[in-house]
Structure 1
């Protein structure tokens, strides 16, 4: 334990954002009770996450990049930081960082908690995947999953000990989404009177399945109310050609004037406040912070059954669920919700109530605080390991 009787927590991740994992990373690093915890933040480079941390009063420590197959330099820097800052618990995010943190925890005899945010972070074709899971089993005090579906999928078959696996839902700051000027928000997006504005929020990557969303939008536009529908997709473009392919497909479907890709969103409450319905078209989701944000903003949600969303949305009660990978079903769901004001209002109100009750930021940080204290209690002595990796 540190000399001032607070628990020193090192928060570390090897991506720079933007994204859901990076958002949770910052929320946790800045949201723990300062009377009980002292947070140190270590990341691997400049970018959205570094800027967001600084905007919240946190100066990150920069470590040499660790996304290579194995970087001794990164590991040495991580171990040195743990010792120098007298860290009591290491909190890692994402699978790759969890592997490094597990080794560092073994070398320093510090408990390690790792949060896994999605199955796409684990490559089944990785030739050393079994070794990585072995390191996690040896070094982790607790593995946190953001949904039951993710825990059941990644921890299946005993690759991680069930007794060390926890589910902690992501949380959102509901107060951030209050008092949005809807008229101004719609005006900024160019939404006209009588238009039905749909919106999706998430970086451009395969798991979001935006191709299915474009196909669904084409069906909506061909319908009896087609002239009223518009779609905004807000997310950072990828670097592998998917964004360009989606733009080409949009134009092939004749949706150039109906679908806008707006890039990374810097005003999420403003975007959500303008929408008539939020849509999640993903093929796979750990949980989906964007869905929680939409519900917190009082926007009705139409989401695919792709893992995490089923734990957020109760079909017909707090939102509308459709099969993943099915453009026709997605279009039908969107038309149903957007075309029925009473249903839309009921789903929005019930969704907001559910987020307030079960997915608050306070609930999330409180649950992590409990995991840290349990990990320290199980770990016993915090005496440092011998000076390996000087």
Structure 2
């Protein structure tokens, strides 16, 4: 039995948090005992509780917290932790330091280009701690790994890639219309959808402008964006929708817990992101057999083979995105054919068991 401490410094929802939850619960089926440290109650807390895991809440807000570090050390010692699996930059720093103090191996995981902020202080020092305290540093795509190796002092020797995986028993073709009916859409409407919390890297401002052009040409098209939204960016996007007279055509529906159901309401999935470390939502859409249009934004370039299992367009380009959306509308049968290939690709390359077994192998090698 391996005693694993899992740590993440956000409460979700999101892609990194989904992977965190799946590893906490999935590894327990392989002679592992999982202990999960999270910063607060919320979506991650609820999901873990629903799956029979009682997380340990340790608050981690603000600057460097000796109190947070102290609690990590206490947990490692009291739970007799064999190895630590941490996610995202903040947790990676704290866990690497705690691992050094307790002489317990640590595996640090980076999920996105935005794991470190532009205003992050003492970045080089923090990466030195991660390099020193981590046995391995995992990136969820080769593109993400290359980015960090180019722009930070992260250890190349310790860096590896493990792709994210999803549960294809949950994400599978199962046509639904409940969200369409909720919004008053008919069977004649072509519904494009995006999944992801409202933040700059998601490129929703680009999608809104592209949607305006597509709707002028194909007025039967509708757009749905599902994800948490608040603050100035969200308000500015709502204003743009109003100014462009899109309120009858493009709708933010907020966070929805049953992502598979929401996806199966779409006729096509759109990822307009400017940067993506991987893109869980892309492989979820592919597993549901939905035609996809995604941007060349990092991780998706290792998922999508344009013209084979989806359509890939340039990031930060309204014109390129419009071309991709137009192709879905005008060649939908061809798009559905690519979607069949996409299902096979996810089942082969991006399934949850493959991901769990790769992490398990890493844990067994380093405990």
Q: Which deviates more from structure 2 when the two are superposed, residues 108-117 or residues 32-41?
A: 32-41
Q: Is the 8 A contact 1:277 1:338 kept in 2?
A: no
Q: Given the alignment, which residue of 226, 229, 235 partners 2:227? A: 235
1:74 to 51, 68, 72: 68
CA distance in 2, matches of 1:9, 1:335: 48
Q: CA deviation at 1:35?
A: 4.3
Match runs of 1:31-70 below 5 Å:
31-63=26-58, 65-70=59-64
Q: Is 2:345 the partner of 1:350?
A: no
* Corresponding residue number in structure 2 for 1:381: none
Q: Is the 8 A contact 1:250 1:256 kept in 2?
A: yes
> Structure 1 residue 33: deviation in Å?
4.5
* Cα distance in structure 2, aligned partners of 1:135 and 1:80: 20
Output one character per residue of 1:110-163: Cα deviation in whole Å (capped at 9) or x when no partner.
Answer: 000111000111124433001101101110111110000000101237712222
Matched residue SS, 1:175: coil
Aligned equivalent of 1:270, options 247, 261, 271:
261
Q: Distance in 1 between matches of 2:163 and 2:271?
A: 18
Aligned residues: 367
* 2-structure distance, mates of 1:106, 1:322: 44
Other-structure match for 2:157: 163
Correspondence list, 1:294-305, <5 A: 294-305=285-296
Give the deviation of 1:183 after TM superposition: 4.4
Shift of 1:339: 2.1
What is the root-mean-square deviation of aligned Cα atoms in Å? Answer: 1.4
Cα displacement (A) at 1:36: 2.1
Matched, 1:16 2:16: no
TM-score, normalised by the number of residues in structure 2:
0.97
Give deviations 1:51-76, integer Å, cap 9, x for gaps: 1111111110111x223220000000
Partner SS state of residue 270, structure 1: helix
Q: Structure 2: how far apart are the matches of 1:341 and 1:126?
A: 45
Uncovered stretches (5+) of structure 1, i.e. residues with no partner: 1-5, 377-390
Q: Within 1, Cα distance between the matches of 2:254 and 2:242?
A: 17
SS of the counterpart of 2:138? strand
**1:189 positional shift:** 4.4
How has the CA–CA distance of structure 1 residues 364 and 35 changed in structure 2, closer, same or farther, with 3 Å as cutoff? closer
Residue matched to 2:99 = 105
Contact 2:309–2:342 (8 Å) recurs in 1: yes
